[in-house]
Amino acid sequence: MQSQSPTHEFFPAPPSQTWKRYPRLLGRLGMFTLIRELSLRGNFLVKVAVEVLWLGILLAFYETVFARTSMVASWPKQDYLFFVGCFFAINGVLETLFLENCNEFSNLVRTGDLDFLLLKPIDEQFLITCRRVDWSVSPNIIMGFCVMAVSLWNKGWEFDALRVALFAITFTCGVAIAYSFMLVLTSFSVWLVRNQSLMEMWWLFSSLARYPREIFQRGWANSLDLVFTYILPILLVVNVPSRVMVKTIEPKMVCFIMVVTVASLAASRWFFQRALRSYRSASS
């Protein structure tokens, strides 16, 4: 060290520790993960190809279904395609930003590598659930929006600013509710250490979210609709934003999803903090 260097001086925290820091940090984390992904480009390209293929199969399947019927559970073809696009976009956001991080959480707990994340002077939930951006699934978001745009075009949809604004709000709410579910399931890793079965539960939830509520509104499945709309409201995630764009706007459901969003974010954060209190840190 240079002899003329000043005496040790601790860097005090800047006066304003605002939320603005987080988007900047997310951008930086996203950039680093992109650099990493591009340096392993073979893996990156294969993952992108798989996602494109998966959407293609899904669209081909619905083409086949709608070749034989004009409606599925009261959803005409173009509306249903919008729903599929909305699901793809929401799922794309979740997988791009959070899924890989949540999946890896149990590994961090098992190896004790979580230690370094907890030591950083930043919100633990942010750092744990957002530290890596999975760019290979990000094309799903674009593909989802493209499918939505094409379906609206085919449907002859006329621009409606209110619907677009409500869609933006409820789309964000949908992402937040699904994120909360993911966070709760992830938090269990602190106690269970191995979390495979819980992440399978996440796949079950996301499978439920990909269908319109009307599918569950008959016979015995009615109870599923009630449970997964009002108790574990995973059916709201895609249904509400899709409906505000292509069906009649239901103010009650729009309000409900906003209340559910606030409640689920608060509850999942509380649960996550409880889980971190029980963290034992693997011995080194």
CA–CA distance, 33 with 25 (Å, rounded to integer) = 12
Select 54 or 116, whichever has its Cβ closest to another protein. 116
Q: How far is CA 158 from the centre of its chain?
A: 29
| Segment near another protein (CB under 8 A); pick from 138-146, 217-225, 258-266, 275-283 | 275-283
| Segment near another protein (CB under 8 A); pick from 16-24, 55-63, 136-144, 261-269 | 16-24
DSSP state for residue 121 in the 8-state scheme: S
Vertex 128: Cα angle to 110 and 50 (nearest 5): 90
| Other beta carbons within 10 Å of 207 | 10
Residue 55, both tokens: 């959407």
32 lies in the binding site for another protein (CB under 8 A): yes
| Segment near another protein (CB under 8 A); pick from 49-57, 119-127, 139-147, 194-202 | 119-127
| Segment near another protein (CB under 8 A); pick from 13-21, 74-82, 157-165, 230-238 | 13-21
Task: Name residues contacting another protein, limited to 192-211 (CB under 8 A).
Answer: none
Residue 75's beta-bridge partner residues? 72
CA–CA distance, 272 with 284 (Å, rounded to integer) = 24
| Segment near another protein (CB under 8 A); pick from 43-51, 205-213, 220-228, 273-281 | 273-281
Select 20 or 252, whichever has its Cβ closest to another protein. 20
Q: Select from 40, 45, 71, 221 the one that contacts another protein (CB under 8 A).
A: 40
Answer whether 275's CB lies under 8 Å from 191's CB. Answer: yes
Beta strands in the chain (DSSP E): 71-72, 75-76
23 lies in the binding site for another protein (CB under 8 A): no
Q: Select from 121, 156, 219, 251 the one that contacts another protein (CB under 8 A).
A: 121
Answer whether 229's CB lies under 8 Å from 219's CB. Answer: no
Residue 131, both tokens: 């530290």
Q: Is the dihedral of CA 271, 273, 274, 280 positive or negative?
A: positive
54 lies in the binding site for another protein (CB under 8 A): no
Residue 31 CB, nearest approach to another protein (Å): 9
Q: Containing H/E element for 64?
A: helix 41-68
Task: Name residues contacting another protein, limited to 58-117 (CB under 8 A).
Answer: 112-113, 115-116
Question: By CB neighbour count within 10 A (0-12 exposed, 13-18 middle, 19+ buried), where does 46 fall?
Answer: exposed
Answer whether 133's CB lies under 8 Å from 29's CB. Answer: yes
39 lies in the binding site for another protein (CB under 8 A): yes
Select 24 or 252, whichever has its Cβ closest to another protein. 24
Q: Select from 28, 194, 218, 274 the one that contacts another protein (CB under 8 A).
A: 28
Residue 268 CB, nearest approach to another protein (Å): 19
Chain residues binding another protein by CB under 8 A are: 1-2, 5, 7-11, 13-14, 17, 21, 24-25, 28-29, 32, 35-36, 39-40, 112-113, 115-116, 118-122, 124, 127, 277, 279-281, 283-284
